[in-house]
Structure 1
Amino acid sequence: MVENIFPLIPDLQEQVDNINSTDNNVALPLGRVFKFDFENNKFVMKDGKLVEIDNDKEKVEQWIHLILLTYKDKYDIYKNTDFYCNIEDMIGKKLNVLYLAEMKDEITTAIMKHRYVDNVDSFNISQIGRKFNVQYNISLINGDLIGGELNV
């Protein structure tokens, strides 16, 4: 008698059906993130250990801050990755309509790379001397809102 050469996989049809019904707004959990002090340019330590961020909203806030400060291929660790925001080219230039539109597009594109970001609701760019002040409001896929400010 010939046996079936295909193995029996329990609940196979249910597994296949679940593939098509997964919610695209549910992102994979974020990994471990250690708190970084951007004012002093160093990781935060407590009792000789790195302080870990346990709140997803804070993890995304730190990620946004970091990507907005990272110029493409400036640091070896980010070479050949999609982790960058090329607004450094604008520093020192007088803010006009063309540069403002280019900066807004670059910032929006960079922020939208994060899988937890749903929408860049608004942001404002103002020039202070040779630097820029960027204020932003971002909606996350879980409904949380992030408001932040960064000087570049």
Structure 2
Amino acid sequence: MSIFPSEVINVTNLIDSTVITPSELPLVKEYAWDFENNDFLLVDGKNAIVTGKEAIKVWVWKALQTKKYRYRAYTSKYGHELDSLINQGFSTGALKAELERYLKESLLVNVYITGVKTIDITIDGSKTDVSFTVTTVYGEVSVSV
């Protein structure tokens, strides 16, 4: 298993309008992530592996921590462009709408993710908190960033 995301490799199926059923997808796997310490989760000195909803949560977190087009190790579909919203002078309503659009664009490239909903955006000065629910082929995952 590689440390690089591989779940976006089936995106061409979405472009070709091919319907993918959950039974056709391999079980998603990711290295476990310690969100509090911002590092891989180790068990007996080795990387732990998570699957299903927990793996999607790790993938979402990593995608939202990675700037799109910045690292050659990732495809051009992986990551986010949220930084482009900084200092644009948008009204609060426009900023929230753009944040929601960018968030969905960043996450819906993953074939295991079928939707993003219940997006709650709080803007306090220069700080923005976002929480949302990701609908996956395994069920729903709540995320806060």
User: Structure 1 length as normaliser, TM-score?
Assistant: 0.71
In structure 2, the gaps of 5 or more residues are: 1-17
Kindly provide the amino acid, as one letter, of the partner of residue 80 in structure 2.
Answer: C
RMSD of Structure 2 on Structure 1 (CA): 2.4
CA deviations on 1:54-77 (whole Å, 9 max, x unpaired) are: x30000111111111211123332
Q: Which of 119, 124, 133 does residue 120 from structure 2 map onto?
A: 124
Matches within 5 A, 1:13-28: 24-26=20-22, 27-28=24-25
Structure 1: how far apart are the matches of 2:67 and 2:19? 33
1:90 partnered with 2:85: yes
- Over 3 Å off, 4+ runs: 91-95
Q: Which has the larger radius of gyration?
A: 1
Aligned residues: 126
CA deviations on 1:77-132 (whole Å, 9 max, x unpaired) are: 22x42101111233466762222211111101111111111121220111234221
Structure 1: how far apart are the matches of 2:33 and 2:87? 27
Structure 1: how far apart are the matches of 2:124 and 2:49? 33
Structure 1: how far apart are the matches of 2:87 and 2:58? 25
Structure 2: how far apart are the matches of 1:146 and 1:37? 16
